[in-house]
């Protein structure tokens, strides 16, 4: 028996047990308070960036959220995973080695025959075992170039070492802009081109209501089954038609390293844009959401050009409008309506015939009945200039005379005010001399 076993055991000091119990009770009350603070709920709420995120996740495209520290990227992903009932696996890219993504070599019994397999990390094994999940790659802009290179196969091929992630796993990453990241790096061009880039910003109303206990609910888009073939056909027609008109945008690698770390056009990113257009069309997504997704896939400039191409695709055929003016359906948006009316007038000018000229006036009357009359001034002037001497003025012109005349008087009033202002400025300058 050791000598230490013979030593008497020190008795607890008087009152020590009571102190421990009191401290435990106080911590329990503190935990109760924390539970109340963490108890939040969600509500349906229009949120364009959240809708864009869920649409890209539904389309199974890797998404990269860019935002300043503390903006709520991680919280949004946590809430998204809970709303979609997906287990969330968070991997901080910056604290891992390249082998954590490419796999660790494991020497077997006969490596000369069986080779040396690359063992995947535990998080990848658990994702495969679950069969589904949301893989969140955080702090991507602080990962070294070597780690970024190892992530290429994970993001594109869904392979970690020798293990392939199941189709039920979606990938979302988050990054701070290099200027605000701790020891930040620009993303490599190959890795950046694999993502749909969404710039995450805060909405004051969302933050205030969320701190009050109610956050917006992330929901997968409702895809209309009957619209799927139409959505695919529209997306293919839109992207292919645009690239036929702008072939130099099929692949354009930015010149600076910083811009290469964002969204830019390539065959891969155009395929992502096509997929997003199909999903957005099938889900009846708003133009604002489509704009976020398209620009996030192929970049700001090419994305805006594609959106303008979509607007032109949605314009009604001017010949159809001239064929049946009484039933003409014109766009609601003012810029698209103006473009449609100008296209009608251009069609009449391309083949000026009396019946077509009269039909053009009927289309303008239809536009006056269904929308803002101020858009008619320019098309009406152009259409009036197309009149031949032997063409009688149709009755439709009288219905438009008041609107066009009022607009012309307003224009003349503005011109007179501008002329008086210019004359006054001239007199002031003359007096100064």
Domain ranges of the chain: 44-104+118-216, 225-314, 318-432
pLDDT tens digits for 386-399?
888 888 877 777 77
Calculate what percentage of the chain has a pLDDT beyond 90: 37
Quote the pLDDT of residue 170: 94
83 token code pair: 């709303």
Give 288-293 contacts, CB < 8 A, sequence gap 24+: 288/48, 289/48, 289/51, 289/52, 289/55, 292/48, 292/49, 292/52, 292/198, 293/52, 293/55, 293/56, 293/196, 293/198
Please give the average per-residue pLDDT across 121-137, as a whole number: 91
Mean pLDDT throughout 331-351? 88
Say what the pLDDT of residue 409 is.
45
In the predicted structure, residue 4 carries a pLDDT above the cut 50 = no
Average pLDDT over residues 386-414: 65
**48-58 and 287-298 helices cross at what angle (nearest 10)?**
60
pLDDT value for 108: 64
**Helix (H), strand (E) at residue 63:** strand 63-66
Rounded alpha-carbon distances, angstroms, from residue 296 to 52, 108, 384, 392: 10, 44, 45, 54
For residue 408, give the H/E element and its range: helix 395-432
Eight-class DSSP state of 197: E
Question: pLDDT category, 294, cuts 50, 70, 90?
Answer: very high
Q: 3-state DSSP call for residue 56?
A: helix
Look at residue 1 and tell me whether its pLDDT is greater than 50: no
- Note the pTM of the prediction, 2 decimals: 0.74
Phi, then psi, of 162 in degrees rounded to 5 = -90, 5
Distance (Å, whole) CA 271 – CA 243: 12
CA–CA dist 320, 363 (Å, integer): 11
Give the Cα separation of 273 and 265 in Å (integer). 10
pLDDT band at 47 (very low <50, low <70, confident <90, very high): confident
Dist CA 17 CA 37 (whole Å): 30
Task: For residues 62 and 297, give the distance between their C-alpha atoms in angstroms, rounded to a whole number.
Answer: 10
Which one, of 358, 357, 322, lies nearest residue 340 by Cα? Answer: 322
302 CB neighbour count, 10 Å cutoff = 25
Most confident of 180-194, 269-283, 329-343: 269-283
Q: Yes or no: say if 182 and 142 are a contact pair by the CB < 8 Å rule.
A: yes
The pLDDT of residue 225: 93
CATH number of 44-104+118-216: 3.40.50.300
CA distance 407 to 376: 9
What pLDDT is recorded for position 85? Answer: 86
Mind listing the pLDDT tens digit for each residue in 249-269? 999 999 888 899 999 999 999
Cα separation, 279 vs 291, whole angstroms: 13
Query: With 60 as the cut, is the pLDDT of residue 117 above it?
Result: yes
Residue 89: exposed, middle, or buried by beta-carbon count in 10 A (0-12, 13-18, 19+)?
middle
Task: Indicate the range of 104-108, 243-247, 335-339, 389-393 predicted with least confidence.
Answer: 104-108
Q: Mind giving me the DSSP string for 227-248?
A: GHHHHHHHHHHHHHHHHHH-GG
Quick one: which of 169, 96, 172 has its CA closest to 133? 169
pLDDT category of residue 107 using cuts at 50, 70 and 90: low
306 half-sphere exposure, CB direction, 13 A CA radius: 34
CA 247 from centre of chain: 24
Q: How confident is the model at residue 3 (pLDDT cuts 50, 70, 90)?
A: very low
For residue 334, the model assigns a pLDDT of 83
**pLDDT for the residue 355:** 92
Mean pLDDT (the chain, rounded):
83
Does the pLDDT at position 295 exceed 90? yes
Highest mean pLDDT among 157-171, 215-229, 263-277, 327-341: 263-277
Residue found by looking up tokens 């990390």 in the block: 121
Q: Give the dihedral sign, CA 262/266/267/273.
A: positive
With 60 as the cut, is the pLDDT of residue 429 above it?
Answer: no
pLDDT of 205 reads 86
Q: Is the dihedral of CA 50, 53, 57, 58 positive or negative?
A: positive
What count of residues does the chain have? 433
């Amino acid at each position: 028996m050791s000598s230490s076993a013979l030593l008497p055991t020190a008795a607890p000091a008087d009152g020590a047990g009571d102190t421990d119990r009191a401290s435990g009770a106080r911590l329990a009350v503190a935990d109760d308070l924390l539970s109340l603070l963490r108890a939040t709920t969600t509500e349906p709420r229009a949120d364009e960036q959240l809708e864009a995120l869920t649409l890209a996740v539904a389309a199974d495209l890797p998404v990269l959220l860019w935002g300043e520290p503390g903006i709520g990227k991680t919280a949004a992903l946590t809430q998204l995973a809970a709303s979609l009932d997906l287990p969330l696996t968070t991997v901080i890219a910056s604290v891992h080695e390249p082998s954590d993504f490419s796999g660790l070599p494991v020497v077997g019994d006969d490596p000369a025959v069986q080779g040396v397999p690359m063992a995947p990390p535990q998080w990848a094994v658990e994702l495969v075992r679950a069969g589904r999940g949301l893989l969140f790659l955080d702090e991507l802009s602080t990962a070294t170039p070597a780690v970024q290179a190892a992530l290429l196969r994970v993001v594109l091929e869904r392979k970690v070492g020798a293990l392939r992630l199941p189709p039920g796993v979606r990938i979302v990453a988050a990054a701070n802009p290099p200027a605000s990241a701790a020891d930040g790096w620009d993303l490599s061009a190959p890795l950046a081109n694999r993502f749909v880039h969404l710039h995450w910003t805060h909405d004051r109303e969302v933050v205030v209501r969320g701190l009050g206990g109610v956050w917006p609910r992330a929901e997968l888009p409702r895809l209309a089954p009957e619209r799927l073939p139409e959505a695919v056909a529209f997306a293919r027609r839109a992207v292919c038609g645009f690239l036929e008109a702008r072939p130099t945008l099929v692949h354009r690698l930015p010149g600076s390293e910083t811009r290469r770390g964002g969204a830019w056009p390539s065959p891969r990113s155009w395929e992502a844009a096509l997929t997003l257009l199909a999903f957005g069309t099938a889900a009846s997504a708003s133009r604002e959401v489509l704009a976020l997704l398209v620009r996030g896939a192929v970049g700001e400039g090419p994305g805006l050009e594609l959106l303008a191409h979509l607007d032109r695709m949605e314009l009604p055929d001017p010949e159809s409008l001239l064929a049946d003016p009484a039933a003409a359906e014109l766009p609601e948006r003012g810029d698209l309506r103006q473009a449609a009316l100008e296209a009608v007038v251009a069609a009449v000018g391309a083949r000026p015939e009396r019946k077509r000229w009269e039909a053009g006036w009927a289309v303008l009357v239809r536009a006056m009945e269904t929308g803002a009359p101020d858009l008619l001034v320019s098309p009406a002037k152009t259409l009036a200039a197309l009149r031949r001497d032997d063409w009688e003025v149709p009755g439709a012109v009288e219905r438009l005379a008041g609107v066009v005349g009022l607009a012309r008087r307003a224009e003349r009033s503005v011109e007179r005010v501008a002329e008086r202002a210019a004359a006054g400025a001239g007199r002031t300058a003359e007096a100064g001399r």
